[in-house]
Amino acid sequence: MGQLCGKKDYSPDGVSERKPRKNYEVVRFFMAGRGSAGKSTIIRHLKYLCTKNSSYKYCNEDWTEANPNDSDDDLWKRTIRASIIKALDVFIKEAANEKLELATESLKEFAATIENLAEDEGEIENLDLTEDFTTHLLELLEDPAIVGARNLKNKLSGNIALFDGLNYFLEPEKLKEVFAPEYVASEPDRVHGRLPTTGVHRYYFMLNRIRIEIYDSGGQASEVQKIFNHLTKWNTGAVSKRNFILFVASLADYNVPHPSLEKETMLNDAAAFMHLLLNNDHTRHCGLLIFFNKKDRFLEKMADPACRDDIKYIQGLSEDEVKKYVEKGRFREHVMINAASKPFVDYLRSEHSDINSYSRDTCAIDPNIMNTFYEVIRKEILNETISSVLP
């Protein structure tokens, strides 16, 4: 269930003996996080689960059932194709940077086409999606130069970040499907895709009789600047006594340098942002649920020899743990995850120990873990079993 934290420490063993409260009180979550922490993906997964489990319902504002598949098909088609084209453009440039040359002249010409498309996204809509185009895409991916560049994806030049669901789309059969003229994005495609949230959105879910409202404040730079205004509006006039900050942080950002603060990472920046958020008058009455997200990408980076020197960014490890990792690449998953989340734990211990808090490490594109998220809400939060994240 992950680590637990806060002033109340209820035993989970007692939860199963209690009956859930039969009321229609709304549990409200103000969702926040930095950049591409995975907030939108979490929402899409919750919607997707509503199509797979009759106990889960996606709702309108008045709590009548809504269609979870209400996204624009054309928008998703354009977005997914553009994301793949941009990723291929990154690999082409990385190959050139590493002095890796494409095998044939025809592939070099096709690579130039991809670079032009990445520069002018509008032209992607006008693509002539012939069988030759898809064949060249597959040949490009299999070229040794691009394979070499893909192997460097966790340490790309210029700290360029690829979207986390990329590998899913680079499977040959999926690639053929996406660039077929009749393509319509499936729900799993949308979950693995990247569609940044702009503006404020409210989402309503029901688990049996449990009403859950998630207020997504956005995560792009322009939205983060407005977050405290959003927080004031969210809190003003609230009648529910069950209010929580749902903070999403990407563990995979442990080695992503901050663009302007030397020696700081984006994960440390997220911890500092959470600290500011919890110091606000409008959050003092709220509980806290932290999602340490993108566990899969974090562990992938930890297992990548190219990222081994980045252990310097993770504090709180024993000398023995560091030595084993640096010399042999050996590590214990839970130890590394706990160490990466240490900046958040330190803030909670020193500044916010009076807040009822709960955390879990997760992966937004794993439906089993997201199903557990619903169970956490039902059994842990609604039955007042919020415990401590502090070790």
Confirm whether residue 218 is marked as ligand binding: yes
| Rg of the chain on CA atoms, in Å | 22
pLDDT in tens, 176-215: 999 998 999 998 898 888 877 677 889 999 887 788 999 9
Confirm whether residue 346 is marked as ligand binding: no
In terms of phi and psi (left: phi > 0; alpha: psi -120 to 50; beta: otherwise), the region of 240 is beta
Strand order in the sheet with 210-216: 56-59, 201-207, 210-216, 26-33, 243-250, 287-293, 357-361
- Locate the DSSP E strands across 34-155: 56-59
**CATH class name, domain 73-192:** mainly alpha
Distance between CA 346 and CA 332 in Å, rounded? 21
pTM score above 0.85: no
Under CATH, which architecture does the 12-70+197-381 domain have?
3-Layer(aba) Sandwich (3.40)
Torsion sign (Cα): 310, 315, 319, 325: negative
Per-residue pLDDT of the chain (391 residues; tens, 9 = 90+): 444 444 443 333 333 344 444 456 788 999 999 877 888 888 888 888 888 888 889 999 999 999 887 668 888 999 999 999 999 999 999 999 999 999 999 999 999 999 999 988 778 877 888 888 999 999 999 999 999 999 988 887 666 778 888 889 999 999 999 999 899 999 889 888 887 767 788 999 988 778 899 999 876 666 667 888 888 888 876 666 688 899 999 999 999 888 888 888 999 999 999 998 998 888 888 888 899 999 999 999 999 999 999 999 998 899 999 999 999 999 999 999 999 999 999 999 888 888 878 788 888 666 666 566 566 666 555 555 444 444 4
Which segments of 31-122 does DSSP mark as H helices, in order?
39-50, 73-97, 105-119
Confirm whether residue 295 is marked as ligand binding: yes
What pLDDT is stored for residue 283 in this prediction? 86
Confirm whether residue 197 is marked as ligand binding: yes
Residue 352 Cα to chain centre, angstroms: 25
Question: Which CA distances in Å does 316 have to 40, 255, 303, 304, 336?
Answer: 31, 15, 19, 21, 9
What pLDDT is stored for residue 360 in this prediction? 82
Could you tell me whether strands 56-59 and 201-207 are parallel, antiparallel, or unpaired per DSSP bridges?
Answer: antiparallel
Confirm whether residue 7 is marked as ligand binding: no
Strand, coil or helix: 337 = helix
What pLDDT is stored for residue 17 in this prediction? 40
Distance between CA 97 and CA 236 in Å, rounded? 52
Domain boundaries, the chain: 12-70+197-381, 73-192
Confirm whether residue 122 is marked as ligand binding: no
Confirm whether residue 222 is marked as ligand binding: no
Residues 6+ apart with CB under 8 A from 388: 3, 4, 5, 6, 9, 357
Confirm whether residue 294 is marked as ligand binding: yes
Confirm whether residue 40 is marked as ligand binding: yes
Could you tell me whether strands 243-250 and 287-293 are parallel, antiparallel, or unpaired per DSSP bridges?
Answer: parallel
Confirm whether residue 280 is marked as ligand binding: no
Confirm whether residue 371 is marked as ligand binding: no
